[in-house]
Structure 1
Amino acid sequence: MILRYLGRVVWVVVAFVLAAVVALAVLYALGAMWVGDELRAAAPPDDPILSHGGATVFGIVLFAGTVTPALTALPALIAVVVGEVMRVRSWIYYVLAGGASLAAIPVLAGPASTGLPEIPAGEYMTIFAAAGFAGGFIYWLLAGARA
């Protein structure tokens, strides 16, 4: 009984780490493409660096440099703990919880202002939510379906 419980805890941790890796890969890939497209659109049409693949490289560096310091696993951990304790087996819960937990990061890590809260751009929120959906689905495949 105890060994089965400990095995489940270890598997949940492994599944969470694998799901986080997939979510980060999707986040950085989509973010790099988005920033690269924005750089290409803002650059002069005859710019040799951006027209020969440099936009994607610069997009990866810029997106990773601005996003990485704000990343936290806390919202996703809360979603996993709630799902495991409540024995939720639905893929819909894990996909939506993953998307919501990653979409919450730009809102939570945004700059504090004295006026109305600033909401990040729609593309930015979509990239975070899509990465969270992917991570939530991977977690459900590995561990959530047998919560």
Structure 2
Amino acid sequence: MNGILTFLIRSVVVLLGYAVAALCSSAFLHVVSLPMLGFTAEETPAVVIGSVVFSIPFIALFVAYFSFIPSLFAILAGEIIGLRDWLYYAIAGGVIGAVVMGYFRSATEADQSLIGEPGFMFALIGAGMCGGLGYWLIAGRSAGGWRKPREITSPEPK
């Protein structure tokens, strides 16, 4: 029973970490795109408050949707191998951002003006890296901790 409870708690922690990763990625995309919108200094606080309250969580739903399958592989690898390094999660997040960009390239055939820009590519990779670090803060630092450590036995003398 103790093993099942440990597994269930770890699953909740992983889901919470994934939610934080999606929020971090969405926040990064908002911070990167905010200067391009051309708001004045007086308008910026209202726009930022509106982004924090509504837009960041809403876009996080799309981020979580598009990055679920590649994130699943990265999370499973981290849990099975027991990778707890922040660099693994940052690089895995960048790779996930590149995979999501590949989704967009294959889905849109007609107008690829935004998708072909290097700034868009780097924004998605950076958002993935921020999401990977957000996941590491919540769940990645204790990855693989649910497994019981193997007992080391020494050979008996003859």
Which residue is 1:102 aligned to?
Answer: 97
Which residue, out of 7, 13, 16, partners 1:14? 16
- Structure 1 segments unaligned to the other structure (5+ residues): 37-49, 114-118
Per the alignment, in what secondary structure is the counterpart of residue 84 of structure 2? coil
1:99 maps to amino acid: G
- Flag the structure with larger Rg: 2
TM-score (norm 1): 0.68
CA distance in 2, matches of 1:4, 1:52: 51
- CA RMSD in angstroms comes to 3.2
TM superposition shift of 1:8? 0.7
After TM superposition, which residue ranges in structure 1, 4 or more long, deviate above 4 angstroms? none
TM-score when scaled to structure 2? Answer: 0.64
Q: Which has the higher helix share?
A: 1
Higher relative contact order by CA 8 Å / sep ≥ 6: 1 or 2?
2
1:83 matched to 2:85: no
Aligned residues: 124
Relative to 1, partners in 2 of residues 1:31 and 1:75: Cα closer, same or farther, differing over 3 Å?
Answer: farther
Unaligned runs of 5+ in 2: 110-114, 144-158
Q: Could you say if the C-alpha distance between residues 6 and 112 of structure 1 is closer, same or farther in structure 2, counting changes exceeding 3 Å?
A: same
Structure 1 match to 2:130: 134
